[in-house]
Amino acid sequence: MPNIRRLVDSSDPFILRSLELLMGPTSDFATKKFVGLLNSNREKSSEIVDLALKVVDGSVIPITRTNFDDPSFKHAFERVFPGLSILARILTCFKQSRSSDVQNLEAQLYPRIIESWSKVAGWLMRLAINASQSPNAQDILGLCSEILDGVAHNASRDSNKLELLSLPITAHAVFLLLSQSPSSQQGRYIFVIGGSGECNIIQVFSSFVSTEVGRQNFILTLNSSNRKTRQRIIASLIERSSQMVAFPTGLGISRVSTIQGLSRLINGVSCLLEDDDILYSLSRLNFIQKYAASYASIAEEASRDRDRDPEFWNLLSLSTVTFLQELILKHAKNPYRSLVHALDGHLFPCVELCLLNLESHKIIEDVLDRFCAEVSKYFTSSETCRAWALSSQPHRRQEKLSQRYPGERYSIMAGFWNSLQDGLQLSKTDRLCPEPILNKCAFD
């Protein structure tokens, strides 16, 4: 990567010290020192942002698609990289600290970022398009993610900063991050793993669509995009789930961080389901079944490895409940059909494993109340019962569940098994209505 100190033309000790703190290791202590330095001289702090934006504004964005082997593009990249890097770290400082000093700095410096945003976003798009052909793809996409996440995160806390999230160019930059594939592995997607072990690209998507302005911009821009772009984004939102859980643990990635990332992805997608066109496109690719399979995959793997980490099982359980409530029951046009797809993806074996490994009584109650009790209402559908029967492993786990959750102590589990057995018996005689009308609470 280019050397920032060499490329930034300044001998001012304040500027150079600021750059040292900005480009050093990220930590709360470094952030505090940097903010303290900027607050010590407000006029000079403006110069830091001006310096970064001047570099970006003065760098001509290549019009045609090229790659990092092209000398002219390489030169342009080396020129703009310092400015974008400074900007990224400043936005991260705004994101990480909510002290009054930081808020005052933000109010002073953010308008300058807004003024130059079209040029900044244009460069982010160009870098994202070319990143897969660079040996530094992770660093380049990480830089793009850091800037976009900083903008989205700060806007979510201050309505005065929502302007950047309403621009189509910002949505297109998010699209390009989501759809990047290694040049030799089409159909797979690039993951940029951050310090928390989560994918930074998923964090950008989640932060962006969690705001009303960002969500509407994402939906409108996606629906107005060409067919190829739509297909690429929809496929990315689905396939990233299975690729995420297939990542080997280690190098900062854990099962906890994987579940956190999967939860962010699915929560972000649930924000988009208000749009019928996007829901239809996702449904055509069996998104519910594939998400369910991702939950089942990581649960089975943890069970095989005898992973007893309570944090992992707690997060997996809560995420699975949210998946049922938000995607299957609340947003789906046909909850019965959606539940069948989830069971086809082996969602219930995932819940069985959660119930067998959970230690928190509060979360156990949550799973029983918001998953088992809800699902049992749908056992009046023959399709639901049959899907459960095909996906479950009764001889291996039902006995353990019955022992751990005896009916005399856990009335919800007793009702669950009774409803299931009644449904299975009736389904053999085809006397079940395929989609009976339940109480409205099942759809709330």
The predicted pLDDT at position 438 comes to 35
Least-confidence region, from 77-91, 298-312, 413-427, 428-442: 428-442
Is pLDDT above 90 for 320? yes
Mean pLDDT of the region 395-407: 84
Taking residues 20-44, what's their average pLDDT?
A: 72
Report d(CA 24, CA 26) in Å as an integer. 6
Residue 425 has pLDDT above 90, yes or no: no
Distance CA 398, CA 394 (A): 5
CA 170 – CA 178 distance, rounded (Å): 13
Percent of the chain clearing pLDDT 70 (strictly above)? 85
Instruction: Work out the average pLDDT over 404-430.
Output: 84
Token pair, residue 101, equals: 């000093």
Q: Are 143 and 114 in contact (CB under 8 A)?
A: no
Q: Which residue is associated with the tokens 């707690």?
A: 314
pLDDT at site 258: 94
| Token pair listed for 75 | 């030169």
Confidence of residue 237 (pLDDT cuts 50, 70, 90): very high
Q: Are 384 and 424 in contact (CB under 8 A)?
A: no
Q: What is the pLDDT of residue 257?
A: 94
Displacement of CA 189 from its chain's centroid (Å): 13
Q: Give the per-residue pLDDT at 46.
A: 76
pLDDT band at 27 (very low <50, low <70, confident <90, very high): low
Question: Under a CB-based contact definition with an 8 Å cutoff, are residues 298 and 245 in contact?
Answer: yes
The confidence band for 393, taking pLDDT boundaries of 50, 70 and 90, is low
Which of 62-71, 166-175, 218-227, 378-387 shows the lowest per-residue confidence on average (mean pLDDT)?
62-71
Highest mean pLDDT among 2-6, 30-34, 78-82, 361-365 belongs to 361-365
- Residue 15 near residue 47 (C-beta atoms within 8 A): yes
Q: Binning pLDDT at 50, 70 and 90, where does residue 439 land? A: very low
What average pLDDT score do residues 246-258 get? 82
**Residue bearing the bigger pLDDT, 257 or 19:** 257
User: HEC profile for the chain?
Assistant: CCCHHHHCCCCCHHHHHHHHHHHCCCCHHHHHHHHHHHHHCHHHHHHHHHHHHHHHHCCCCCCCCCCCCCHHHHHHHHHHHHHHHHHHHHHHHHHHCCCHHHHHHHHHHHHHHHHCHHHHHHHHHHHHHHHCCCCCHHHHHHHHHHHHHHHHHHHHHCHHHHHHHHCHHHHHHHHHHHCCCCCCCCCCCCCCECCCCCEHHHHHHHHHHCCHHHHHHHHHHHHCCCHHHHHHHHHHHHHHHHHHHCCCCECCECHHHHHHHHHHHHHHHHHHCCCHHHHHHHHHCCHHHHHHHHHHHHHHHHHHCCCCCHHHHHHHHHHHHHHHHHHHHHHCCCHHHHHHHHHHCCHHHHHHHHHHHCCCHHHHHHHHHHHHHHHHHHHHCHHHHHHHHHHCCHHHHHHHHHHHCCCCCCHHHHHHHHHHHHHHHHHHCCCCCCCCCCCHHHHC
The token pair at 6 is: 């060499």
Report d(CA 374, CA 101) in Å as an integer. 48
- Scanning the structure block, which residue is given the tokens 């702090």? 45
Q: Is the pTM of this model over 0.75?
A: yes
Residue 369 has pLDDT above 90, yes or no: yes
Which pLDDT band, with edges at 50, 70 and 90, does 302 fall under? very high
Is the predicted pLDDT of residue 84 greater than 50, yes or no?
yes
Give the Cα separation of 208 and 213 in Å (integer).
9
* More confident site: 260 or 43: 260
Mean pLDDT of the chain: 84
> What percent of the chain has a predicted confidence (pLDDT) above 90?
45
- Please name which of 112, 139, 144 lies closest in space to residue 126, comparing C-alpha atoms: 144
Pair 137, 71: CB distance under 8 Å:
no
More confident residue, 360 or 68: 360
Q: Which residue has the higher pLDDT, 218 or 247?
A: 218
How does pLDDT run across 169-219, given as a tens digit for each residue? Answer: 999 999 999 999 886 666 789 898 887 888 999 999 999 999 999 999 999
Please tell me the predicted confidence (pLDDT) of residue 394. 54
> How far apart, in whole angstroms, are the C-alpha atoms of residue 353 and residue 303?
7
Residue at 405: amino acid letter: Y
Mean pLDDT of 353-361: 96
User: Is 8 within 8 Å of 82 (Cβ atoms)?
Assistant: yes
The tens digit of pLDDT for each residue in 115-140 reads 889 889 998 998 898 888 888 888 89
Could you tell me which residues come within 8 angstroms of residue 103 by beta carbon, excluding any fewer than 6 positions away? none
From CA 326, how far away is CA 330, in angstroms rounded?
5
More confident residue, 437 or 18: 18
d(CA 237, CA 287): 9
